[in-house]
Structure 1
Protein backbone atom coordinates (compact mmCIF):
# COMPACT_ATOMS: atom_id res chain seq x y z
CA UNK A 1 0.00 0.00 0.00
CA UNK A 2 0.99 3.66 -0.32
CA UNK A 3 3.58 5.27 1.95
CA UNK A 4 3.32 8.95 2.80
CA UNK A 5 5.45 11.51 4.59
CA UNK A 6 3.90 14.58 6.18
CA UNK A 7 6.69 17.06 6.87
CA UNK A 8 5.74 19.92 9.17
CA UNK A 9 7.89 23.05 8.92
CA UNK A 10 6.43 25.94 10.87
CA UNK A 11 9.27 27.02 13.15
CA UNK A 12 10.73 30.48 13.63
CA UNK A 13 14.31 31.60 14.09
CA UNK A 14 13.80 32.98 17.60
CA UNK A 15 16.05 30.56 19.50
CA UNK A 16 18.54 30.77 16.64
CA UNK A 17 18.83 34.54 17.18
CA UNK A 18 18.04 34.80 13.50
CA UNK A 19 15.22 36.46 11.54
CA UNK A 20 15.19 33.60 9.04
CA UNK A 21 12.87 30.68 9.95
CA UNK A 22 15.13 27.83 11.04
CA UNK A 23 13.90 25.43 8.34
CA UNK A 24 15.32 27.82 5.72
CA UNK A 25 18.79 28.19 7.27
CA UNK A 26 21.48 26.58 5.13
CA UNK A 27 23.70 23.60 5.85
CA UNK A 28 26.30 22.65 3.23
CA UNK A 29 24.81 25.08 0.75
CA UNK A 30 21.11 24.28 0.94
CA UNK A 31 18.23 24.87 3.37
CA UNK A 32 17.70 22.44 6.25
CA UNK A 33 14.24 21.59 4.92
CA UNK A 34 15.67 20.41 1.59
CA UNK A 35 17.97 18.00 3.42
CA UNK A 36 14.94 16.65 5.29
CA UNK A 37 12.82 16.13 2.19
CA UNK A 38 15.75 14.46 0.44
CA UNK A 39 16.03 11.87 3.24
CA UNK A 40 12.52 10.65 2.49
CA UNK A 41 13.18 10.51 -1.26
CA UNK A 42 16.33 8.56 -0.51
CA UNK A 43 14.16 6.08 1.41
CA UNK A 44 11.85 5.75 -1.60
CA UNK A 45 11.45 7.88 -4.76
CA UNK A 46 7.82 6.69 -4.77
CA UNK A 47 6.92 8.03 -1.34
CA UNK A 48 4.17 10.66 -1.44
CA UNK A 49 5.22 13.77 0.45
CA UNK A 50 3.01 16.49 1.87
CA UNK A 51 4.92 19.59 3.03
CA UNK A 52 3.11 21.85 5.51
CA UNK A 53 4.33 25.45 5.62
CA UNK A 54 2.97 28.70 7.08
CA UNK A 55 0.88 30.37 4.40
CA UNK A 56 3.04 33.50 4.31
CA UNK A 57 6.23 31.46 3.75
CA UNK A 58 5.10 29.41 0.75
CA UNK A 59 6.17 31.98 -1.86
CA UNK A 60 9.60 32.30 -0.26
CA UNK A 61 9.97 28.51 -0.25
CA UNK A 62 9.11 28.38 -3.95
CA UNK A 63 11.81 31.00 -4.54
CA UNK A 64 14.29 28.76 -2.71
CA UNK A 65 13.18 25.76 -4.81
CA UNK A 66 13.99 27.70 -7.96
CA UNK A 67 17.25 29.08 -6.60
CA UNK A 68 18.53 25.64 -5.60
CA UNK A 69 16.95 23.79 -8.55
CA UNK A 70 15.15 21.57 -6.06
CA UNK A 71 12.75 19.50 -8.10
CA UNK A 72 11.52 16.69 -5.81
CA UNK A 73 7.84 15.89 -6.24
CA UNK A 74 5.58 16.80 -3.28
CA UNK A 75 2.41 18.68 -2.38
CA UNK A 76 2.47 21.93 -0.40
CA UNK A 77 -0.27 22.67 2.14
CA UNK A 78 -0.75 25.88 4.13
CA UNK A 79 -0.56 25.18 7.85
CA UNK A 80 -2.63 26.43 10.78
CA UNK A 81 -1.92 28.53 13.86
CA UNK A 82 -0.62 25.55 15.88
CA UNK A 83 1.23 22.34 15.09
CA UNK A 84 -1.95 20.37 15.82
CA UNK A 85 -3.87 22.40 13.26
CA UNK A 86 -1.03 22.17 10.73
CA UNK A 87 -0.82 18.38 10.97
CA UNK A 88 -4.60 18.10 10.69
CA UNK A 89 -4.56 20.23 7.53
CA UNK A 90 -1.74 18.14 6.09
CA UNK A 91 -3.65 14.93 6.75
CA UNK A 92 -6.59 16.22 4.71
CA UNK A 93 -4.31 16.07 1.66
CA UNK A 94 -3.88 12.32 2.13
CA UNK A 95 -6.52 9.91 0.90
CA UNK A 96 -7.52 7.24 3.43
CA UNK A 97 -7.83 3.56 2.55
CA UNK A 98 -10.71 1.21 3.21
CA UNK A 99 -10.98 0.27 6.90
CA UNK A 100 -10.90 -3.45 6.25
CA UNK A 101 -7.43 -3.68 4.71
CA UNK A 102 -5.42 -6.44 6.40
CA UNK A 103 -2.63 -5.52 8.89
CA UNK A 104 0.69 -5.24 7.06
CA UNK A 105 -1.09 -3.96 3.94
CA UNK A 106 -2.36 -0.59 5.16
CA UNK A 107 -1.16 2.76 3.88
CA UNK A 108 0.98 4.61 6.41
CA UNK A 109 2.09 8.19 6.96
CA UNK A 110 5.30 9.30 8.66
CA UNK A 111 4.80 12.66 10.36
CA UNK A 112 8.17 14.37 10.65
CA UNK A 113 9.67 17.65 11.84
CA UNK A 114 11.06 19.71 8.97
CA UNK A 115 14.11 20.57 11.08
CA UNK A 116 15.21 16.98 11.64
CA UNK A 117 17.40 16.61 8.52
CA UNK A 118 19.51 13.75 9.91
CA UNK A 119 16.81 11.09 10.14
CA UNK A 120 18.20 7.71 9.09
CA UNK A 121 16.67 5.95 6.10
CA UNK A 122 16.52 2.74 8.15
CA UNK A 123 14.44 4.56 10.79
CA UNK A 124 11.97 5.70 8.13
CA UNK A 125 11.77 2.19 6.70
CA UNK A 126 11.27 0.56 10.11
CA UNK A 127 8.61 3.08 11.09
CA UNK A 128 6.45 2.29 8.06
CA UNK A 129 6.69 -1.47 8.59
CA UNK A 130 5.93 -1.27 12.32
CA UNK A 131 3.09 1.21 11.84
CA UNK A 132 1.43 -0.98 9.23
CA UNK A 133 1.62 -3.96 11.57
CA UNK A 134 0.91 -2.25 14.91
CA UNK A 135 -1.05 0.90 14.11
CA UNK A 136 1.78 3.30 14.89
CA UNK A 137 5.55 3.48 15.31
CA UNK A 138 7.09 6.32 17.31
CA UNK A 139 10.84 6.93 17.06
CA UNK A 140 12.44 7.39 20.47
CA UNK A 141 15.76 7.12 22.29
CA UNK A 142 16.80 6.28 25.84
CA UNK A 143 17.96 9.04 28.18
CA UNK A 144 21.71 9.35 28.61
CA UNK A 145 21.79 11.64 31.65
CA UNK A 146 20.45 11.21 35.15
CA UNK A 147 17.19 13.04 35.80
CA UNK A 148 15.44 14.50 38.83
CA UNK A 149 11.82 15.48 39.42
CA UNK A 150 11.30 19.01 40.74
CA UNK A 151 8.68 19.07 43.50
CA UNK A 152 6.14 21.91 44.01
CA UNK A 153 7.89 22.81 47.27
CA UNK A 154 11.18 23.32 45.45
CA UNK A 155 12.73 20.02 46.49
CA UNK A 156 13.89 17.39 44.00
CA UNK A 157 13.74 13.61 43.73
CA UNK A 158 15.92 11.21 41.74
CA UNK A 159 13.99 9.35 39.02
CA UNK A 160 14.97 6.12 37.28
CA UNK A 161 15.86 7.23 33.75
CA UNK A 162 15.32 3.69 32.45
CA UNK A 163 11.58 4.29 32.78
CA UNK A 164 11.62 7.20 30.30
CA UNK A 165 12.25 7.76 26.59
CA UNK A 166 12.83 10.91 24.56
CA UNK A 167 10.37 11.23 21.67
CA UNK A 168 11.56 11.98 18.15
CA UNK A 169 10.04 11.93 14.70
CA UNK A 170 9.09 10.29 12.42
CA UNK A 171 5.93 9.31 14.23
CA UNK A 172 4.28 6.97 11.78
CA UNK A 173 0.68 5.76 11.69
CA UNK A 174 -1.89 3.93 9.64
CA UNK A 175 -3.48 6.68 7.60
CA UNK A 176 -7.09 6.01 8.61
CA UNK A 177 -6.28 5.79 12.31
CA UNK A 178 -4.31 9.05 12.60
CA UNK A 179 -6.82 10.98 10.49
CA UNK A 180 -9.58 9.84 12.85
CA UNK A 181 -7.44 10.63 15.91
CA UNK A 182 -7.01 14.23 14.78
CA UNK A 183 -10.76 14.73 15.02
CA UNK A 184 -10.44 15.07 18.80
CA UNK A 185 -10.42 18.49 20.44
CA UNK A 186 -7.07 20.24 20.58
CA UNK A 187 -5.75 20.72 24.13
CA UNK A 188 -2.38 22.01 25.48
CA UNK A 189 -1.23 18.54 26.57
CA UNK A 190 -1.14 17.28 22.97
CA UNK A 191 2.53 18.00 22.38
CA UNK A 192 3.14 15.52 19.57
CA UNK A 193 1.28 13.12 17.27
CA UNK A 194 1.73 10.19 19.64
CA UNK A 195 -0.10 12.08 22.40
CA UNK A 196 -2.98 12.78 19.99
CA UNK A 197 -3.12 9.11 18.99
CA UNK A 198 -3.04 8.00 22.63
CA UNK A 199 -5.75 10.45 23.73
CA UNK A 200 -7.94 9.15 20.91
CA UNK A 201 -7.80 5.73 22.58
CA UNK A 202 -4.93 3.96 20.82
CA UNK A 203 -1.84 2.23 22.22
CA UNK A 204 1.52 3.83 21.40
CA UNK A 205 4.22 1.55 19.96
CA UNK A 206 7.83 2.79 20.30
CA UNK A 207 10.74 1.99 17.99
CA UNK A 208 14.41 2.86 18.29
CA UNK A 209 15.41 6.19 16.81
CA UNK A 210 18.91 7.64 16.67
CA UNK A 211 20.87 10.16 18.74
CA UNK A 212 21.94 11.79 15.46
CA UNK A 213 18.31 12.51 14.60
CA UNK A 214 18.41 15.88 16.36
CA UNK A 215 15.82 18.62 16.07
CA UNK A 216 17.59 21.83 15.09
CA UNK A 217 16.34 24.58 17.39
CA UNK A 218 19.47 26.34 18.67
CA UNK A 219 22.82 27.49 17.21
CA UNK A 220 24.48 24.55 18.98
CA UNK A 221 22.14 22.11 17.19
CA UNK A 222 22.98 23.75 13.87
CA UNK A 223 26.71 23.35 14.48
CA UNK A 224 26.27 19.66 15.38
CA UNK A 225 24.14 19.01 12.29
CA UNK A 226 26.71 20.70 10.06
CA UNK A 227 29.49 18.56 11.52
CA UNK A 228 27.52 15.32 11.05
CA UNK A 229 26.50 16.15 7.47
CA UNK A 230 30.00 17.32 6.60
CA UNK A 231 31.45 14.03 7.90
CA UNK A 232 28.90 11.98 5.93
CA UNK A 233 29.90 13.74 2.70
CA UNK A 234 33.62 12.95 3.07
Structure 2
Protein backbone atom coordinates (compact mmCIF):
# COMPACT_ATOMS: atom_id res chain seq x y z
CA UNK A 1 0.00 0.00 0.00
CA UNK A 2 1.16 3.53 -0.77
CA UNK A 3 2.51 5.22 2.36
CA UNK A 4 2.26 8.88 3.27
CA UNK A 5 3.51 10.84 6.26
CA UNK A 6 2.05 14.20 7.24
CA UNK A 7 4.47 16.11 9.45
CA UNK A 8 2.61 18.92 11.21
CA UNK A 9 4.58 21.91 12.48
CA UNK A 10 2.37 24.94 12.81
CA UNK A 11 3.28 26.08 16.32
CA UNK A 12 4.54 29.55 17.15
CA UNK A 13 6.85 28.33 19.92
CA UNK A 14 5.78 30.90 22.52
CA UNK A 15 6.72 28.62 25.44
CA UNK A 16 10.23 28.26 24.02
CA UNK A 17 10.91 31.98 24.24
CA UNK A 18 13.08 31.77 21.11
CA UNK A 19 13.33 34.27 18.21
CA UNK A 20 11.73 31.79 15.81
CA UNK A 21 9.22 28.90 16.07
CA UNK A 22 10.68 25.85 17.79
CA UNK A 23 10.45 23.58 14.74
CA UNK A 24 13.21 25.61 13.05
CA UNK A 25 15.58 25.68 16.01
CA UNK A 26 18.74 23.62 15.63
CA UNK A 27 19.78 20.52 17.52
CA UNK A 28 22.89 18.71 16.44
CA UNK A 29 23.60 21.43 13.89
CA UNK A 30 20.33 21.37 11.94
CA UNK A 31 16.66 22.27 12.45
CA UNK A 32 14.46 19.94 14.45
CA UNK A 33 12.14 19.42 11.47
CA UNK A 34 14.95 17.98 9.38
CA UNK A 35 15.66 15.33 11.99
CA UNK A 36 11.97 14.42 12.01
CA UNK A 37 11.72 14.14 8.23
CA UNK A 38 14.85 11.98 8.21
CA UNK A 39 13.22 9.46 10.58
CA UNK A 40 10.33 8.89 8.19
CA UNK A 41 12.62 8.76 5.18
CA UNK A 42 14.72 6.10 6.92
CA UNK A 43 11.59 4.11 7.73
CA UNK A 44 10.47 4.06 4.09
CA UNK A 45 12.38 6.00 1.40
CA UNK A 46 9.45 5.44 -0.99
CA UNK A 47 6.86 7.07 1.25
CA UNK A 48 5.52 10.49 0.31
CA UNK A 49 6.42 13.12 2.90
CA UNK A 50 4.11 16.10 3.39
CA UNK A 51 5.29 18.96 5.58
CA UNK A 52 2.55 21.25 6.89
CA UNK A 53 3.84 24.62 8.10
CA UNK A 54 2.44 28.18 8.02
CA UNK A 55 2.48 29.63 4.51
CA UNK A 56 4.40 32.62 5.82
CA UNK A 57 7.24 30.24 6.74
CA UNK A 58 7.70 28.73 3.26
CA UNK A 59 10.54 31.08 2.31
CA UNK A 60 12.29 30.60 5.65
CA UNK A 61 12.08 26.83 5.26
CA UNK A 62 13.43 26.93 1.71
CA UNK A 63 16.35 29.04 2.92
CA UNK A 64 17.04 26.57 5.73
CA UNK A 65 16.98 23.66 3.29
CA UNK A 66 19.52 25.44 1.08
CA UNK A 67 21.73 26.38 4.02
CA UNK A 68 21.82 22.80 5.34
CA UNK A 69 21.82 21.15 1.90
CA UNK A 70 18.72 19.19 2.89
CA UNK A 71 17.95 16.83 0.02
CA UNK A 72 15.08 14.63 1.28
CA UNK A 73 12.15 15.06 -1.07
CA UNK A 74 8.98 16.43 0.53
CA UNK A 75 5.97 18.57 -0.33
CA UNK A 76 5.01 21.79 1.46
CA UNK A 77 1.40 22.46 2.44
CA UNK A 78 0.12 25.56 4.18
CA UNK A 79 -1.19 25.04 7.69
CA UNK A 80 -4.49 26.17 9.18
CA UNK A 81 -5.58 28.00 12.32
CA UNK A 82 -5.53 24.81 14.40
CA UNK A 83 -3.86 21.43 14.36
CA UNK A 84 -7.12 19.92 13.09
CA UNK A 85 -7.20 22.33 10.15
CA UNK A 86 -3.50 21.77 9.42
CA UNK A 87 -3.91 18.00 9.29
CA UNK A 88 -7.03 18.44 7.16
CA UNK A 89 -5.02 20.57 4.71
CA UNK A 90 -2.35 17.89 4.60
CA UNK A 91 -4.90 15.18 3.89
CA UNK A 92 -6.51 17.36 1.23
CA UNK A 93 -3.23 17.49 -0.67
CA UNK A 94 -3.29 13.71 -1.17
CA UNK A 95 -4.96 12.73 -4.42
CA UNK A 96 -4.96 8.96 -3.90
CA UNK A 97 -7.93 7.27 -2.24
CA UNK A 98 -6.18 4.19 -0.89
CA UNK A 99 -3.05 3.90 1.19
CA UNK A 100 -1.72 4.52 4.69
CA UNK A 101 -0.95 7.85 6.29
CA UNK A 102 1.12 8.53 9.40
CA UNK A 103 0.41 11.87 11.10
CA UNK A 104 3.28 13.11 13.24
CA UNK A 105 4.26 16.15 15.28
CA UNK A 106 7.14 17.94 13.60
CA UNK A 107 8.84 18.55 16.95
CA UNK A 108 9.09 14.85 17.82
CA UNK A 109 12.43 14.08 16.12
CA UNK A 110 13.33 11.02 18.19
CA UNK A 111 10.62 8.60 17.10
CA UNK A 112 12.17 5.21 16.44
CA UNK A 113 12.06 3.83 12.92
CA UNK A 114 10.61 0.57 14.26
CA UNK A 115 7.69 2.50 15.78
CA UNK A 116 6.95 4.09 12.41
CA UNK A 117 7.12 0.77 10.60
CA UNK A 118 4.94 -0.94 13.19
CA UNK A 119 2.37 1.85 12.93
CA UNK A 120 2.03 1.30 9.20
CA UNK A 121 1.74 -2.47 9.65
CA UNK A 122 -0.92 -2.25 12.36
CA UNK A 123 -2.91 0.42 10.55
CA UNK A 124 -2.96 -1.76 7.42
CA UNK A 125 -4.40 -4.63 9.47
CA UNK A 126 -6.69 -2.82 11.88
CA UNK A 127 -7.42 0.63 10.48
CA UNK A 128 -5.46 2.67 12.99
CA UNK A 129 -2.27 2.59 15.07
CA UNK A 130 -1.55 5.18 17.75
CA UNK A 131 1.79 5.22 19.55
CA UNK A 132 1.56 5.34 23.36
CA UNK A 133 3.79 4.75 26.38
CA UNK A 134 2.97 3.61 29.89
CA UNK A 135 3.09 5.98 32.85
CA UNK A 136 5.94 5.66 35.33
CA UNK A 137 4.62 7.99 38.02
CA UNK A 138 1.56 7.70 40.21
CA UNK A 139 -1.31 9.91 39.09
CA UNK A 140 -4.22 11.66 40.79
CA UNK A 141 -7.39 13.11 39.33
CA UNK A 142 -8.46 16.61 40.38
CA UNK A 143 -12.15 16.92 41.21
CA UNK A 144 -14.43 19.93 40.80
CA UNK A 145 -14.47 20.55 44.57
CA UNK A 146 -10.67 20.98 44.69
CA UNK A 147 -9.85 17.53 46.00
CA UNK A 148 -7.79 14.80 44.33
CA UNK A 149 -8.47 11.12 43.81
CA UNK A 150 -5.95 8.31 43.31
CA UNK A 151 -6.05 6.63 39.88
CA UNK A 152 -4.73 3.23 38.84
CA UNK A 153 -1.95 4.18 36.41
CA UNK A 154 -2.03 0.83 34.60
CA UNK A 155 -5.32 1.93 33.02
CA UNK A 156 -3.76 5.02 31.42
CA UNK A 157 -1.31 5.70 28.60
CA UNK A 158 0.54 8.79 27.40
CA UNK A 159 -0.32 9.43 23.76
CA UNK A 160 2.40 10.22 21.24
CA UNK A 161 2.64 10.36 17.47
CA UNK A 162 2.78 8.90 14.86
CA UNK A 163 -0.91 8.23 14.67
CA UNK A 164 -1.32 6.17 11.54
CA UNK A 165 -4.50 5.30 9.65
CA UNK A 166 -5.93 3.77 6.54
CA UNK A 167 -6.17 6.75 4.23
CA UNK A 168 -9.81 6.34 3.20
CA UNK A 169 -11.01 6.11 6.82
CA UNK A 170 -9.08 9.07 8.20
CA UNK A 171 -10.15 11.24 5.26
CA UNK A 172 -13.77 10.42 6.08
CA UNK A 173 -13.12 11.15 9.76
CA UNK A 174 -11.73 14.61 8.98
CA UNK A 175 -14.66 15.47 6.72
CA UNK A 176 -16.51 17.02 9.68
CA UNK A 177 -16.63 20.32 11.50
CA UNK A 178 -13.96 20.79 14.14
CA UNK A 179 -14.96 20.06 17.76
CA UNK A 180 -13.20 21.11 20.97
CA UNK A 181 -12.93 17.42 21.88
CA UNK A 182 -10.57 16.83 18.93
CA UNK A 183 -7.31 16.90 20.90
CA UNK A 184 -5.44 14.72 18.39
CA UNK A 185 -6.04 12.65 15.27
CA UNK A 186 -7.15 9.62 17.29
CA UNK A 187 -10.07 11.56 18.77
CA UNK A 188 -11.16 12.62 15.27
CA UNK A 189 -11.02 8.98 14.13
CA UNK A 190 -12.84 7.84 17.28
CA UNK A 191 -15.64 10.36 16.63
CA UNK A 192 -16.77 8.09 13.79
CA UNK A 193 -17.39 5.29 16.29
CA UNK A 194 -14.25 3.39 15.29
CA UNK A 195 -11.97 1.74 17.83
CA UNK A 196 -8.45 3.14 18.09
CA UNK A 197 -5.62 0.58 18.11
CA UNK A 198 -2.71 1.34 20.43
CA UNK A 199 0.91 0.38 19.74
CA UNK A 200 4.08 0.79 21.79
CA UNK A 201 5.86 4.09 21.30
CA UNK A 202 9.33 4.95 22.60
CA UNK A 203 10.12 7.04 25.67
CA UNK A 204 12.68 9.19 23.82
CA UNK A 205 9.94 10.35 21.45
CA UNK A 206 9.44 13.62 23.32
CA UNK A 207 7.61 16.66 22.02
CA UNK A 208 10.12 19.51 22.13
CA UNK A 209 8.31 22.46 23.65
CA UNK A 210 10.48 24.17 26.27
CA UNK A 211 14.17 25.14 26.68
CA UNK A 212 14.53 22.13 29.01
CA UNK A 213 13.37 19.90 26.18
CA UNK A 214 16.05 21.40 23.92
CA UNK A 215 18.75 20.52 26.42
CA UNK A 216 17.42 16.98 26.71
CA UNK A 217 17.27 16.73 22.90
CA UNK A 218 20.96 17.63 22.65
CA UNK A 219 21.69 14.96 25.27
CA UNK A 220 19.76 12.35 23.26
CA UNK A 221 21.65 13.26 20.09
CA UNK A 222 25.03 13.04 21.83
CA UNK A 223 23.99 9.74 23.39
CA distance in 2, matches of 1:79, 1:200: 24
Q: Does structure 2 conserve the Cα–Cα contact (< 8 Å) formed by 1:137 and 1:172?
A: yes
Could you say what secondary structure the match of 1:6 adopts? strand
Could you say what secondary structure the match of 1:222 adopts? helix
Could you say what secondary structure the match of 1:33 adopts? helix
CA distance in 2, matches of 1:202, 1:229: 38
Structure 2 match to 1:102: none
CA distance in 2, matches of 1:18, 1:40: 26
CA distance in 1, matches of 2:184, 2:138: 24
CA distance in 2, matches of 1:12, 1:147: 30
Q: 2:115 is matched with which residue: 123, 129, 133? A: 123
Structure 2 match to 1:66: 66
1:190 correspondence with 2:210:
no
Q: Over aligned residues, Cα RMSD in angstroms?
A: 0.9
CA distance in 1, matches of 2:190, 2:91: 17
Structure 1 match to 2:26: 26
Structure 2 match to 1:156: 148
- Give the superposition deviation at 1:13: 2.1
CA distance in 2, matches of 1:81, 1:118: 26
Q: Does structure 2 conserve the Cα–Cα contact (< 8 Å) formed by 1:184 and 1:200?
A: no
CA distance in 2, matches of 1:43, 1:62: 24
What does the per-residue CA deviation read over 1:127-164, in whole Å, with 9 as the maximum and x for residues that have no partner? 00000000000000011111111111111110111111
- Give the superposition deviation at 1:97: 3.0
Structure 2 match to 1:169: 161
1:138 correspondence with 2:104:
no
Which runs of 5 or more structure 2 residues have no equivalent in the other structure? none
Structure 2 match to 1:207: 199
Could you say what secondary structure the match of 1:170 adopts? strand
CA distance in 2, matches of 1:31, 1:43: 19
- Give the superposition deviation at 1:8: 0.3
Structure 2 match to 1:79: 79
Q: 1:220 is matched with which residue: 202, 209, 212? A: 212
- Give the superposition deviation at 1:93: 1.3
What does the per-residue CA deviation read over 1:158-217, in whole Å, with 9 as the maximum and x for residues that have no partner? 011111101000000000000110012201110100000001221100000011000000
1:47 correspondence with 2:47:
yes
Aligned residues: 223
- Give the superposition deviation at 1:18: 1.1
CA distance in 2, matches of 1:44, 1:153: 50
